[in-house]
A and B are shown apart, each in its own frame.
Chain A
Amino acid sequence: MSILINKHSRVVVQGITGHEGSFHAQQMITYGTNVVAGVTPGKGGEWVLDGKVPVFDSVKVAVEATGANVSVIFVPARFAADAIFEAADSGVPLIFCITEGIPVQDMMTVRAYLDQKGVRLVGPNCPGALTPGEAKVGIIPGNIAIPGDIGVVSRSGTLTYEVLYALKLHGMGSSTCVGIGGDPVNGTSFIDALSLFEADPYTERVILIGEIGGSDEEKAAEYISRHMTKPVVAFIAGQTAPPGKRMGHAGAIIEGGSGTAADKIKALNNAGVRVARHPEEIPALLRS
């Protein structure tokens, strides 16, 4: 009942002995995710999280030893690009990068390399993914969502939690929720996620949560009008954002007059997508 991750996913956590990595690895395990390995160079041979998870010096060895097929990265920004390359070369087909603050030129090089290898990256600067009732990879709080048939894709973190929570209060659940991150250059795009939801038999409807900056929402609108049969509801944050200012996320900036919320809402409306005026309006739009 999902895209990207499910109860069979075998997860390796890069940076598992760090503050963030160990905390969230524990949260993932508590949720029921198969965290099969951790990686911290120099700490290979240790066992962490109540002695349940083996630590390896490299992702490659971790994958060989445990059959991990998803990597999630919690390493600091200055080491993150290298961690992504390492994961890509280890043979895992799917990488989540939670790290915020990776230099954009690093990400352009990463993207070019990953495209050649055919490895999927989600993020960086993202909360990861949650398939309610099955698994979570990243930092989305597990208790705010219930299983259901709504696919959720978002550039934001807490705004996504807000939407999942609003759905839960209305008894509505999601198939998978995926955060694609707030950076200007990332891995998985809205279109990538939409096409996965379109193909997923358990997803009936999709929520797209975008924000100012770039043109990914406009491209998604075009994709929706041409290829999506499932209904899509959207919300775009940043209608009151001034031009030329970076609104927290590296990618959330109106540059040269383009990337405004108004443009994105118009493109989505033209594609037949209903756009909520605020996050708590989304459940009602899904019902109508």
Chain B
Amino acid sequence: MNLHEYQAKQIFSRYGIPIPRGRVAANPAEAKQIAEELGGKVVVKSQVLVGGRGKAGGIRLAKSSQEAEELATLILGMEIKGLPVRKVLVDEAVSIEKEIYLGITNDRSSRKPVLMASAEGGVDIEEVAARSPDKIIKILIDPLLGLREYQSRDVAVSIDLPKPFWRSFISLAEALWRVYRETDATLVEINPLVITNDQRLLALDGKMSIDDNALFRHADLAEKRDLDVEAPAEIEARKYGLSYIKLDGEIGCMVNGAGLAMATMDIIKLYGGYPANFLDIGGGAGADKVAAALRIILSDTNVKAVLINIFGGITRCDEVARGILAAIGEVQPNVPMVVRLVGTNAEEGRRLLADAQLITAETLVEAAQKSVRVARGGAA
């Protein structure tokens, strides 16, 4: 789950990381008020969870509170990469001498946190990584020891930070490490971290991603989730503990297990169709969950056929069959459905479904071929 810039910077500030003076505004009048308090010269920044806000015209400099109000009116009416701008951050404008990149993330390969820094801040770090990887300094952090002072000092030296800034940089890096640790972040990023003309270090921008699996111990962060970035069906699915991702194809999929769900999508494509979604009903799914899953799949109007592929282990096929029957009764699907039940209580499940108008399949290949054919309007 990603936080907005203003949310990330508020958290940074609580940990002692210096940020520009500023506040978030939901309407132009508020933006004007904030700009007046800050002396007129401000930056108006759209708060949407996508990259490239600047290029899209979502970050603008205002020379007066009047102009801040006008820009806020403009930006609050914008959509950036399909997302509506609902808030703007109004920050004091600062004069910049140097821009640095500083971030901490999970390094999957070494299974450790990694601190990354670059003297080339203010640009997309992935571009820097692709163009000149040697410009990015990476320091692995032992999770049992935490970030050590010498490591931060080494980084300061490596990015040619002038000596007078070393001390404040080290405490800033330490604070960023504590943010990462204490919020269960998967990414904390300051880009750019700037040296201002009046010789201060300042976190001009901020980005944070939080581990969804850790939200149980961060109720304050969990409620910051921005639902604009998720499809309504994905939000609905989460309520039922289902994992659903909408795709562009025509064959809806309901599968138990993430790996098998992906394999089912892949085999549909192999036989000439295209999956409409990823959907994992999870282990031990009962009838109500199955019914919810079918409703969600059928809410996608592109769906021309549904493939239900269940390998019963913990999940019992008879339970799934009851869910299918309940869902059919409720939503009256008007597309053909192909069902494959294998494993625990599969025979019982198939018996329950015998009277419903369903197409059955024994193997995965057969299930995929049949669903592709019926999705095109052919016979199974």
Which residues of A lie under 8 Å from residue B272 when comparing CB positions? Answer: none
Task: Give the contacting residue for B257; candidates A109, A157, A240; CB below 8 A.
Answer: A157
Q: Do A278 and B143 have beta carbons less than 8 Å apart? A: no
Q: Do A215 and B258 have beta carbons less than 8 Å apart? A: no
CB contact under 8 A between A280 and B213, given known A158-B259, A185-B108: no
CB contact under 8 A between A162 and B112, given known A103-B213, A240-B266, A250-B213: no
For window 359-379 of chain B, which residues contact chain A by CB distance below 8 Å? 363-365, 368
Q: Do B259 and A182 have beta carbons less than 8 Å apart? A: yes
Residue B74 is within 8 A (CB to CB) of chain A in the complex = no
Q: Mark B224-256, 1 if CB is under 8 A from A, else 0.
A: 000000000000000000010101000000011
Q: Do B126 and A256 have beta carbons less than 8 Å apart? A: yes
Q: Do A249 and B258 have beta carbons less than 8 Å apart? A: yes
Residue among A144, A160, A162 facing the most chain B CB atoms (10 A cut-off): A162
Nearest chain A residue, comparing its CB with the CB of B214 = A103
Nearest chain B residue, comparing its CB with the CB of A238 = B262
Q: Do A154 and B259 have beta carbons less than 8 Å apart? A: yes
Least Cβ–Cβ distance between A199 and chain B, in angstroms: 24
Q: Do B258 and A280 have beta carbons less than 8 Å apart? A: no
A262 to B169: give the CA distance in the assembly, Å: 41
Which residues of A lie under 8 Å from residue B278 when comparing CB positions? Answer: 241, 245, 247-248
Q: Mark A78-121, 1 if CB is under 8 A from B, else 0.
A: 10000000000000000000000111111111011100100000
Q: Do A280 and B269 have beta carbons less than 8 Å apart? A: no
Q: Do A245 and B111 have beta carbons less than 8 Å apart? A: no
A214 to B110: give the CA distance in the assembly, Å: 11
For window 181-210 of chain B, which residues contact chain A by CB distance below 8 Å? 181, 184, 186
A127 to B213: give the CA distance in the assembly, Å: 19
Q: Do B108 and A102 have beta carbons less than 8 Å apart? A: no
Residue A39 is within 8 A (CB to CB) of chain B in the complex = no
Least Cβ–Cβ distance between A246 and chain B, in angstroms: 8
Task: Give the contacting residue for A212; candidates B126, B262, B368; CB below 8 A.
Answer: B262
Q: Do B126 and A247 have beta carbons less than 8 Å apart? A: no
Q: Do B216 and A280 have beta carbons less than 8 Å apart? A: no
Q: Do A156 and B266 have beta carbons less than 8 Å apart? A: no
A103 to B185: give the CA distance in the assembly, Å: 10
Q: Mark A146-185, 1 if CB is under 8 A from B, else 0.
A: 0000000011111111100100000000000000001011
Residue B311 is within 8 A (CB to CB) of chain A in the complex = yes
Task: Give the contacting residue for A144; candidates B255, B314, B343, B364; CB below 8 A.
Answer: B343
Which residues of B lie under 8 Å from residue A185 when comparing CB positions? Answer: 106, 108, 111
Residue among B259, B312, B364 facing the most chain A CB atoms (10 A cut-off): B259
Residue A242 is within 8 A (CB to CB) of chain B in the complex = yes
Q: Do B111 and A111 have beta carbons less than 8 Å apart? A: yes
Q: Do B256 and A112 have beta carbons less than 8 Å apart? A: no
Q: Do A158 and B213 have beta carbons less than 8 Å apart? A: no
Q: Do B259 and A184 have beta carbons less than 8 Å apart? A: no
CB contact under 8 A between A108 and B256, given known A211-B262, A250-B213, A280-B363: no
Least Cβ–Cβ distance between B346 and chain A, in angstroms: 11
Task: Give the contacting residue for A252; candidates B144, B256, B262; CB below 8 A.
Answer: B262
Residue B347 is within 8 A (CB to CB) of chain A in the complex = no
Q: Do B270 and A113 have beta carbons less than 8 Å apart? A: no
Which residues of B lie under 8 Å from residue A141 when comparing CB positions? Answer: 312-313, 343-344
Residue A237 is within 8 A (CB to CB) of chain B in the complex = yes
Residue A30 is within 8 A (CB to CB) of chain B in the complex = no
CB contact under 8 A between A112 and B261, given known A144-B343, A161-B313: no
Task: Report the contact-size class of chain A (Cβ under 8 Å from the partner).
Answer: 35 or more
Q: Do A252 and B365 have beta carbons less than 8 Å apart? A: no
Residue A235 is within 8 A (CB to CB) of chain B in the complex = yes
Q: Do A209 and B143 have beta carbons less than 8 Å apart? A: no
Q: Do B214 and A239 have beta carbons less than 8 Å apart? A: no
A211 to B181: give the CA distance in the assembly, Å: 28
Task: Give the contacting residue for B313; candidates A107, A140, A239, A248; CB below 8 A.
Answer: A140
For window 87-138 of chain B, which residues contact chain A by CB distance below 8 Å? 106, 108-109, 111-113, 126
A237 to B265: give the CA distance in the assembly, Å: 9
Residue B79 is within 8 A (CB to CB) of chain A in the complex = no
Residue A194 is within 8 A (CB to CB) of chain B in the complex = no
Q: Do A241 and B184 have beta carbons less than 8 Å apart? A: no
Residue A122 is within 8 A (CB to CB) of chain B in the complex = no
Residue A139 is within 8 A (CB to CB) of chain B in the complex = yes
For window 337-361 of chain B, which residues contact chain A by CB distance below 8 Å? 342-344
Q: Do A157 and B313 have beta carbons less than 8 Å apart? A: yes
Q: Do A248 and B243 have beta carbons less than 8 Å apart? A: yes
Residue A279 is within 8 A (CB to CB) of chain B in the complex = yes
Q: Do B214 and A105 have beta carbons less than 8 Å apart? A: yes
Nearest chain B residue, comparing its CB with the CB of A186 = B111
Task: Give the contacting residue for A241; candidates B106, B217, B257, B262; CB below 8 A.
Answer: B262
Q: Do A245 and B245 have beta carbons less than 8 Å apart? A: yes
Q: Do B364 and A278 have beta carbons less than 8 Å apart? A: yes
9 residue pairs of the A-B complex, CB under 8 angstroms, read A104-B186, A104-B213, A105-B143, A111-B111, A139-B283, A156-B260, A158-B259, A158-B260, A165-B342
Top 10 A-B residue pairs of the complex, sorted by shortest distance between their CB atoms:
A156-B259, A248-B258, A158-B257, A159-B259, A103-B214, A237-B262, A158-B260, A248-B280, A159-B260, A238-B262
Given contacts A78-B216, A139-B314, 17 further A-B pairs with CB under 8 A are: A104-B106, A105-B106, A107-B111, A108-B111, A139-B283, A144-B343, A158-B256, A161-B313, A184-B106, A209-B259, A215-B109, A240-B265, A247-B278, A249-B259, A252-B258, A261-B266, A279-B364
Residue numbers of B with Cβ under 8 A of A are 106, 108-109, 111-113, 126, 142-144, 181, 184, 186, 211-214, 216-217, 243, 245, 247, 255-263, 265-270, 274-275, 278, 280, 283, 311-314, 342-344, 363-365, 368
